[in-house]
Amino acid sequence: MSNTLRNYDNHVGIYGMMLAGKTTVSQKLAKVLDMPSVDTDEYVVSRIPQKSISEFIDSETQKHGSEKAWDNFAGVERECIQELTASWQDKKVISFEGRTLLPESNRELISSISELVPIYLELQSKHQIQRAKNLTQEDLEHRPALRDAITDEKTADFFMKMQRDRGSIYREFAGDRIVKACHNLDKIVQDILDILKK
């Protein structure tokens, strides 16, 4: 793996579809770049009273309804993104939660951070379906948007709808910073490094 970016001076944000491998890729990339890696899922949980995102969504849904619950979650995410990118000296590789780029306000915030380079980790629905079959019940507990959709009847429809709803938003935001997530890990990281060198 070719790396001449040991002193890379921007934050790198990895975003994409559910099950694209954002956390795994971010951790590997962080090692190559000699940066810390931060998962926004874990960071958000450290900033809310609940023990998991699932509990937060369930609690907020009971109080305000599902749409408002996810809006409130997006607000927490914005605060966390601002905190994570506040220091221009302490650069990080940040793995964004699957829905992070959906609210326009989040996209506007990320676009406004000049020291943050977002990379879209693209995964087709057929690969999402394949990876979903390997999830355990414990995995699903940490994925509130996914846990109720994983059945033999619903899984394909769930991921195809996700691609329709999110794909164009993600691609438009990414521009030419798109990496295919179906390759092996070293290839994915090398493709990201090639983008960062431009």
Position 71 in a domain: yes
Per-residue pLDDT of the chain (198 residues; tens, 9 = 90+): 555 566 688 999 999 998 999 999 999 999 999 999 999 989 999 999 998 888 899 999 999 999 899 899 999 999 999 999 998 778 999 999 888 999 999 999 999 999 999 999 999 988 888 888 787 877 777 676 676 666 656 788 888 999 999 999 999 999 999 999 987 999 999 999 999 998
What pLDDT was estimated at residue 93? 97
Domain span holding position 133? 11-196
Position 33 in a domain: yes
Burial of 163 (0-12, 13-18, 19+ CB in 10 A): middle
Position 79 in a domain: yes
Position 115 in a domain: yes
Angle between helices 22-33 and 185-196 (to 10 degrees): 60
For residues 93 and 76, what is the distance between their CA atoms, to the nearest angstrom? 19
Give the closest residue to 15 by CA, choosing from 163, 170, 193, 160: 170
For residues 176 and 171, what is the distance between their CA atoms, to the nearest angstrom? 8
Number of domains, the chain: 1
Position 93 in a domain: yes
Position 47 in a domain: yes
Position 87 in a domain: yes
Tokens of 72: 């409130």
* CATH number, residue 24: 3.40.50.300
Position 101 in a domain: yes
What pLDDT was estimated at residue 1? 57
SS3 181: coil
Provide the whole-model pTM: 0.86
What pLDDT was estimated at residue 131? 86
